[in-house]
Amino acid sequence: MNVNVRFPYEFDGRGRTALDDEDRYVRGLIEQVLFTSPGERVNRPDFGSGLAQLVFAPNGTELAATTQMLVHAALQQWLGDLVEVESVEVEAEDAALRVTVACAVRRTGARQVHSFSHGGAG
């Protein structure tokens, strides 16, 4: 039995740990890898992608390409047993980064596409 704990952690209407369907669960795991900075987790100091720190770097195509490689490598390292990362696209616009991840869930073969934004207004 797969138990897909909701991210961020919360309780359901019965006061138990809230669970998610597989799509939302995978999205939550990807989000955790993307927005956790290495060194942030005590027992896993290498966990994360460092994406949040790159928002303050000089924006441009070089940043987008570097971010794409960093994100792809981090997802492969931390979620490679759960998903096959098919593509990572990074768009840099003003002070914001938009990351789109396409992957396939290894257990089911289901394909998913998730978009995340960080930085910028709003």
pLDDT of residue 52: 72
Element (H, E) at 79: helix 61-79
Residue 118: left (phi > 0), alpha (psi -120 to 50), or beta? beta
Q: What is the pTM of this model?
A: 0.81
Tell me the pLDDT tens digit for each residue of 42-95: 999 999 988 777 666 666 677 778 888 889 999 999 999 999 999 999 887 776
DSSP assignment letter at 41: S
The two beta strands, 96-105 and 111-119, are antiparallel
Contact status, residue 74 vs residue 48, Cβ threshold 8 Å: yes
